Amino acid sequence: MTVSEKSVQTTDDNNEKEDSIGLKTFKLLATIPTYAGVKTFSSETNGDNPSVLSIQVILSQRDLKRKLKRLIVKQLVVSLPTKGSSDTVAKVITSSFLPIDLGDVVLQAESPSGNKLLILRCVSNDKGKKSFVEIWDKGNLKQSIDVTDSHGDFYSDGTFGSLKWAKNEEKAVYIAERKALDEKDEKKCDFVPGWGEKFVNKRVSVIVIVNVLESKVEVLPEFEKIVPGQVFFGPGDKTLIFNGYNREPRYYGIYACINRLVGIYQTKLDGTDLVHLTEQLEHARSPRLAPSEKVLTYYSNPISGPHSYCSELREYNFSTNTHRVVVPIVHTPSDSFQNGFPGIYNDQMARKSFITFDDKEFLIIQSCWRSRGVVLAINLDTGKVQDLTSTGSWSLFIACNNYIIASRGAPNDFPELYIGIVTGYQNDTLKVDWTCIDKPNIEEVEPILSKITWSIIQPIPDNKNLEVIYVKPNETSENKKPPLIVCPHGGPHGVITADISLSITTLISLGYVVAIVNYTGSTGFGQDSIDALIGKAGDLEVKEVQASAQYFIDNGLVDPNKVIVMGGSHGGFISAHLIGKYPDFYKACVMKNPVLNIGGMATITDIPDWCFSEIGLPYSLTNPPIVKPSDYKLMYENSPINNIDKVKTPTLLMLGSEDKRVPHNDGLNWYYYLKGKGDVEILCKIYKETGHALDSVDAEIFGTDIVIKFLEEKIGKLE
């Protein structure tokens, strides 16, 4: 099932030690690029329905030699069926793949007419970095504006980043970091925080207007209490609309946190006359202007509390200045409401996310439906929600005119790219015909993937908030039961959907069985499930993960003497709790940036509110509290550190040196204590220049290698 010794050469020229079979398998899987984005360009048009579509597919490719992830481009030309045609299938006309590295291109956007292209480019050399705004017209570079001295770095992330044209194509707008203060400026020493994990160098963003006709940019003044993001032109190109994140009294980490103080604002084109469009709400994010320009859609949910909520979809009407709820927060899924629809779980809408059919506007979004990623269509008039996908797990890239582009994958299959053509509408339901238009070349890894099977199970029949994605080799020895790796996810209010994971696929190929546990508190199961964990963290989900592990033993599926627990972040929190509360159950434990002492974390993390909320303590984002002795006592009692003296399980601890979410201080304290105790094997690895996710290529390679070796040492090498 694993790759052969000769199937791939992975040994570095300067490394005399040959890779293990497991690491060779991981590196071979890592050669497969994954879909990171899609841009579409209309080649021929018929009204609002292009007949030929040029698709720029952006792929993320690991470069194992240089130890980095690169963005490369593939071009597809697709013929679309014309409206009313009996032929409803899209056809790929040409597919060309040259490994063109996007390199210094930060963002790009096609103009509404399709004739112009705007590119934000950042060029680095020995003398430093220079930033340019390029305007291309019908394939020719017409303007290149040096903006190096106008502002700081361009923003391209999904939370703040934006690059939008005005409909008349005379202006464009984007987001950048404000210009660095002059050395003589007395404010240069003022403390200005960053936005935490993955946003460390983002501090004060500004809106930048590109005047296409005059070949210049204008940086709008900063706003006193908010920082802008996701800016675009309002109806008729007369205003700017954007998200504004509160910067007072402090910056809170925003990565994977949708419970922040944020609103939707509107200004004139010069940044004056600021209006808070969602003043009645504490949280409103991801504004999107419908094609008719009559309404603005956005998400809203409560603040503080859990970091991820079921969101409601709301709509703002420009003519009446009124708001309404299109899709409410779903507390408990029911067959009587939208066929068991569990609610919306989506950080940001796609930048192009509307379909118009028979004069009806539909918002197309990505969400999770229990343990599956899905693509949903929402009728903005009726609020009807429709799941457009079937088997596998889906990710949405773009929805425009009458087509949708998304990818579909599974735990034993790399994602493939699909285009869905909307061909009909009846009984408040869209008819969408899906066609696969691109797939990765998996010939070399097919022998690995073909020997993996998976299913979603419910280990406790009367607990509908608990699901396990069960991934295993499809052939196991009748005489020898396989070892089990139990993997609770982080968050805790997140979810692992049924997608491929390189590390898990590698472990399956070596003969392990993996149980990915989506416990109570996971997203995709209704808001009541999320709320059920608040105040019970460290107890409820720990018991459910333990019950899930016991399920596999009780059903004779695994070797009861070879059970391993492995998790990161809150998954590491659960793992540490398990080896403290069930010290003789687990043969080995792997923890990645785990939460070990909530009280210690509360004073150094970018999300201090998490430390209060998860154990049921109040926290005000506008008046942040300090940790009182009584608070610390409760935090300590609910933390794994409370049971550290009971730990017997050999443990591999993996930490990121730049982790802002769960800084490694408490991880090292855990390590030092067990080392001093002397009767527990503890191994610690720290990965430099790596954050909370441990997702650098270097951390992936060396992390996979050490995990494989550690597990083989503890349970023996599998045949």
Residue 219: both structure tokens together: 């940086």
Furthest C-alpha separation in the chain: 77
**Exposure string (b/e) for 223-243, b if CB count within 10 Å is 16 or more?**
beebbbbbbbbbbebebbbbb
Note if 620 is an active site residue.
no
Residue 634 phi, psi dihedral angles, 5° rounding: -65, -40
Residue closest to 2 by CA, chosen among 18, 16, 23, 17: 23
Bridge partners for 386 per DSSP: 377
DSSP state of 311: B
Residue appearing with tokens 């934000």: 120
Residue 185 neighbours by CB distance under 10 Å:
10
How deeply is 456 buried, as exposed, middle or buried, from its count of CB atoms within 10 A (0-12, 13-18, 19+)?
middle
Q: What DSSP assignment string belongs to 184-242?
A: T-GGGGS-----STT-TT---EEEEEEETTTTEEEEPPPPSSEEEEEEEE-GGG-EEEE
Note if 657 is an active site residue.
no
**Exposure string (b/e) for 338-349, b if CB count within 10 Å is 16 or more?**
beebbbbbbbbb
Distance CA 174, CA 156 (A): 9
Helix%, strand%, coil% for the chain, nearest 5: 15, 40, 45
**How far, rounded to the nearest angstrom, does the alpha carbon of residue 665 sit from its chain's CA centroid?**
26
**HEC per residue, 402-459:** CEEEEEEEECCEEEEEEEEEEEEEECCEEEEEEEEEECCCCCCCHHHHCCEEEEEECC
**Pure H helices in 36-189:** none
Residue closest to 457 by CA, chosen among 514, 373, 399: 514
**How far, rounded to the nearest angstrom, does the alpha carbon of residue 275 sit from its chain's CA centroid?**
31
Residue 215 neighbours by CB distance under 10 Å:
13
CB proximity list for 559: less than 8 A, separation 6 or greater: 480, 481, 482, 483, 484
Dihedral angle of Cα 99, 175, 228, 216, to the nearest 10 degrees: -160
Residue 271: both structure tokens together: 């940044």
- Backbone region of residue 373 per phi and psi (left: phi > 0; alpha: psi in -120 to 50; beta: other values): beta
Helix, strand or coil for residue 573? Answer: helix
Residue 109 neighbours by CB distance under 10 Å:
18
Catalytic residue among 575, 659, 664, 666: 659
How deeply is 49 buried, as exposed, middle or buried, from its count of CB atoms within 10 A (0-12, 13-18, 19+)?
middle
The residue length of the chain stands at 719
Q: Do residues 203 and 145 touch, judged by C-beta distance below 8 A? A: no
Catalytic residue among 131, 205, 548, 569: 569
CB proximity list for 448: less than 8 A, separation 6 or greater: 1, 2, 3, 25, 28, 29, 505, 509
HSE of 440, CA atoms in CB hemisphere, 13 A: 23
Q: Do residues 417 and 395 touch, judged by C-beta distance below 8 A? A: no
Distance CA 439, CA 82 (A): 25
Note if 307 is an active site residue.
no
Q: Do residues 215 and 134 touch, judged by C-beta distance below 8 A? A: no
Q: Do residues 579 and 647 touch, judged by C-beta distance below 8 A? A: yes
Catalytic residue among 42, 631, 692, 696: 692
Q: Looking at the annotation, which residues are catalytic?
A: 569, 659, 692
